[in-house]
Amino acid sequence: MHDSLRVLRNGEKTFQRIWTNLVNAHKTEFNFKIVLRLHVNMYNKESMKQLLYKISRNLASDNRFPVFIRGLGKFGGKNDGLLPVVEGEELVNTIKDLKDLASGLNIGLVDGSIISGAQCYASKFNSLIIRSDGKIGKCTVALYDRRNIIGEINSDGTMNFEKDKFSWWVRGNFTGNEQQLHCPLYAPGSMRD
């Protein structure tokens, strides 16, 4: 199901590569946390259950991999009309069923308020998004906004960062401005090109 919605620009599948990277990270003793954000849609409830069993078998003993379950959303992208979004009571019930299953499998869950809360994850220093094409971003809502591409992972594993863009996303930590901490994308303080 993942590979039908999340493909590389050239059409290649992405799930196995992501999964392999997670398992390899699990094998290390590094101190980190990776929130596994699972998006429920109209067609993937059964595959989500299969994924939770896979997480339980391979990662559940490792508290560095908590799971966050939420509904797939439409955020203004050009393909919003194509997304199989589930809403309302059906979404609430589906998420509850999946959370109950995850709890029964001893998978750590993250509450959405912990991720969003008073401070947006995008305004935090230690929160990055690694896209399937190797681009590095800060915000999962502004995926296609030019300001959200703050760097990339090179083929040799090194990273390039645009320090000015990174600083713009985390500026609220220096200014103390609550709007910049809550949502750096829409808060005062425009990014210069």
Task: Encode pLDDT of 114-165 as tens digits.
Answer: 444 468 889 999 999 998 889 999 998 888 889 999 999 998 989 999 999 9
* Residue 136 and residue 159 in contact, taking contact as beta carbons nearer than 8 Å: yes
Question: Are residues 19 and 95 both part of a single domain?
Answer: yes
Question: How many structural domains compose the chain?
Answer: 2
pTM: 0.63
Structural domain contains residue 133: yes
Q: How far is CA 44 from CA 57, 59, 96, in A?
A: 20, 21, 15
Cα 71 from Cα 38, distance rounded (Å) = 8
List Cβ neighbours of 48 (8 Å cut-off, separation of 6 or more).
38, 40, 69, 98
pLDDT of residue 112: 60
Asked whether residue 109 carries a pLDDT value surpassing 80, the answer given is yes
Show the tokens assigned to 44: 């993937």
Cα 136 from Cα 128, distance rounded (Å) = 7
Average of per-residue pLDDT values in the chain: 86
Show the tokens assigned to 69: 């379950």
Question: Are residues 37 and 93 both part of a single domain?
Answer: yes
Question: Are residues 17 and 56 both part of a single domain?
Answer: yes
Instruction: Answer with the one of 115, 138, 159 that is the final residue of a domain.
Output: 115
Question: Are residues 84 and 140 both part of a single domain?
Answer: no
